[in-house]
A and B are shown apart, each in its own frame.
Chain A
């Protein structure tokens, strides 16, 4: 791999019994890139993400994440990545400051580092006065911004965002993307999934998984050109539902 690659996957495969959830996927993600990882429900995204985050061992193929091998160095991978999702990000029964301290502890930061970074984060987010508030009392949009910052607390080289903006209001959603750009411009690689097709347009490059394989990969502009469409949304529709094939015939597999 080159020194510039954050993620390198080659023929990465995962089978569950006779079902091939991830079928020889090959791609790389560059340092500081905003990489959109798209696909229909059940196309294999979650399986791929679990392999890349060191939570699931591949059946075959190779991959390195932040230079660490997914088979033999999954613990190092976990230390060098950040993760947040829509479903789970912060502990609602802990305060803002307690959440930050908890994650700082989990990632082995020193007390001084935790203090300094908590301080900087709360100032940056304008959440200083809310440090002692329970996370459950904070509006969703704020929670997601905080969760993203917490995922970056240990200064990971790569951050995985799994539908980070789901259900968030349209202005906060856009502010969230500003934060993504900021993280990327400071060198953090951002690996993001979304069901908002306008957000796919905000990525440097995207891949679209179809039935366990990577159906397309490139910049949004390249993909639109390749498929002769006006939007990524249409590219997605073309790939996910090849013309006239009855939808139900291929659906139904667990995501």
Chain B
């Protein structure tokens, strides 16, 4: 399979700030690829470079075999880009927005009906409504429709699910799955770590650098030590007690459990578990559930992201 995107040593600075600090990777044709990372990680800058809207300071990038700097005009007809900020015309109706984007690319809604039907069918009931009056999830669907209307060969979707509720997010990813099944290459960014599982491969990105590039499963499995989930009625107190445990490497709340790793790497999981339980019971905690748990992409992200950026003297107690 050919590569739809090839990025080599890309660097982009804004004044003193380095937004992208040397990124290299390739994305295969037909892949649903995710950039996973928090705000400020460099996702948007990288997407703008790939969408031919920004020129990198160093390195190069090719999309669909063409250089993003030299071939920007021909590339723009072949790519679809959905920016992170809602960028449709709020005062135009759903249908007017779509008609406008179709006309910019020299086509019509009627000619593209088949292509956009799976998404447009969900919007059609509201086609007279002003885009600005749509709910978050529906705005994103309309934006996706507009990005698709000129039959791009590859889609760049920058944080399409940010600020969208958990259910609408699922629906949006279902749509992306359908597009992928139709053969489209889609590159998506998101700050929600749990969305990694919807991608074929992901790149974890933080402070302009890639922490990992692999399938979500392999990223999760690359976690380098046993992970133990502690379930306790008194979660917050348990968490504080774990902070005082001499063998604690990390202890983070994780949904209804606490994810714990031990400093020691040469002790069996069974012993770690037993010792942890003994410690917590000695602190008066009862009704504990202490057992190994498979690491998630988020666990790997936290393990690899390194210390929190420092801005003042010392780090905070929090």
> Contact residues of A with B, CB < 8 Å?
39-43, 86, 122, 124-130, 133, 138-142, 145, 163, 166-172, 174-179, 181-182, 195-198, 201-202, 220-221, 231, 233, 236-237, 240-241, 247-249, 251-255
Please tell me if B269 contacts chain A, counting CB pairs below 8 Å: no
Whether B135 and A252, one on each chain, are in contact in the complex, defined by CB atoms closer than 8 angstroms, is yes
Please tell me if B298 contacts chain A, counting CB pairs below 8 Å: yes
Please tell me if B6 contacts chain A, counting CB pairs below 8 Å: no
Whether A252 and B253, one on each chain, are in contact in the complex, defined by CB atoms closer than 8 angstroms, is no
**Complex interface: chain A residues within 8 A of B312 (CB):** 122, 125-130
Q: Which residue of B lies closest to A129 (CB)?
A: B312
Nearest CB on B from A201, distance (A): 4
Whether B313 and A129, one on each chain, are in contact in the complex, defined by CB atoms closer than 8 angstroms, is yes
> Contact residues of B with A, CB < 8 Å?
37-41, 121-123, 125-126, 129, 132-138, 162-171, 191-194, 206, 235-236, 252-256, 298, 301-302, 305, 308-309, 311-318
A41 CB contact (under 8 Å) in B132, B168, B254, B316: B168
Known: A127-B312, A139-B309. A231 touches B255 (CB 8 A): yes
Cα of A201 to Cα of B37 in the assembled complex, Å: 22
**Complex interface: chain B residues within 8 A of A231 (CB):** 255-256
Cα of A178 to Cα of B192 in the assembled complex, Å: 20
Nearest CB on A from B176, distance (A): 15
B316 CB contact (under 8 Å) in A125, A129, A166, A251: A125
Q: Which of B126, B206, B236, B302 has the most CB of A within 10 A?
A: B236
Whether A141 and B135, one on each chain, are in contact in the complex, defined by CB atoms closer than 8 angstroms, is no
**Complex interface: chain B residues within 8 A of A253 (CB):** 135
Chain A to chain B contacts (Cβ below 8 Å), 26 pairs: A42-B135, A128-B312, A129-B311, A129-B312, A139-B40, A139-B309, A141-B308, A141-B309, A168-B38, A169-B305, A171-B305, A175-B308, A175-B316, A182-B318, A195-B192, A197-B255, A201-B256, A237-B167, A248-B123, A251-B135, A251-B138, A252-B125, A252-B134, A254-B132, A254-B135, A255-B135
**Complex interface: chain B residues within 8 A of A195 (CB):** 163-166, 169, 192
Cα of A198 to Cα of B194 in the assembled complex, Å: 10
Whether B206 and A169, one on each chain, are in contact in the complex, defined by CB atoms closer than 8 angstroms, is yes
Nearest CB on A from B115, distance (A): 18
Q: Given known contacts A41-B165, A167-B39, what 10 new A-B pairs fall within 8 Å (CB)?
A: A40-B135, A41-B135, A126-B317, A141-B308, A142-B309, A145-B318, A166-B191, A167-B162, A168-B39, A202-B235
**Complex interface: chain A residues within 8 A of B134 (CB):** 252, 254
**Complex interface: chain A residues within 8 A of B123 (CB):** 248
B165 CB contact (under 8 Å) in A39, A126, A175: A39
Whether A174 and B253, one on each chain, are in contact in the complex, defined by CB atoms closer than 8 angstroms, is yes
Whether B165 and A233, one on each chain, are in contact in the complex, defined by CB atoms closer than 8 angstroms, is no
**Complex interface: chain B residues within 8 A of A128 (CB):** 312-313
Nearest CB on A from B269, distance (A): 23
Whether B311 and A139, one on each chain, are in contact in the complex, defined by CB atoms closer than 8 angstroms, is yes
Known: A181-B236, A237-B166. A126 touches B316 (CB 8 A): yes
Cα of A41 to Cα of B305 in the assembled complex, Å: 31
In order of increasing CB-CB distance, the 10 nearest A-B pairs are A167-B39, A42-B135, A169-B38, A41-B136, A248-B122, A126-B316, A198-B255, A240-B167, A129-B312, A40-B165
**Complex interface: chain A residues within 8 A of B137 (CB):** 40-42, 251
Cα of A231 to Cα of B256 in the assembled complex, Å: 8
Cα of A168 to Cα of B192 in the assembled complex, Å: 10
**Complex interface: chain A residues within 8 A of B166 (CB):** 195, 197, 233, 236-237, 240
**Complex interface: chain A residues within 8 A of B39 (CB):** 140, 167-168
Nearest CB on A from B33, distance (A): 20
Cα of A175 to Cα of B317 in the assembled complex, Å: 9
Cα of A39 to Cα of B6 in the assembled complex, Å: 40
Whether B168 and A40, one on each chain, are in contact in the complex, defined by CB atoms closer than 8 angstroms, is yes
Whether A248 and B164, one on each chain, are in contact in the complex, defined by CB atoms closer than 8 angstroms, is no
Whether B313 and A140, one on each chain, are in contact in the complex, defined by CB atoms closer than 8 angstroms, is no
Whether B318 and A178, one on each chain, are in contact in the complex, defined by CB atoms closer than 8 angstroms, is yes
Whether B311 and A133, one on each chain, are in contact in the complex, defined by CB atoms closer than 8 angstroms, is yes
Known: A145-B316, A178-B318. A130 touches B311 (CB 8 A): yes
Cα of A240 to Cα of B137 in the assembled complex, Å: 13
Q: Which residue of B lies closest to A125 (CB)?
A: B316
Cα of A177 to Cα of B137 in the assembled complex, Å: 26
B311 CB contact (under 8 Å) in A39, A138, A237: A138
Nearest CB on B from A21, distance (A): 12
**Complex interface: chain A residues within 8 A of B167 (CB):** 40, 236-237, 240-241
Cα of A220 to Cα of B256 in the assembled complex, Å: 9
**Complex interface: chain A residues within 8 A of B38 (CB):** 140-141, 167-170, 172
Cα of A60 to Cα of B254 in the assembled complex, Å: 40
Q: Which residue of A lies closest to B299 (CB)?
A: A170
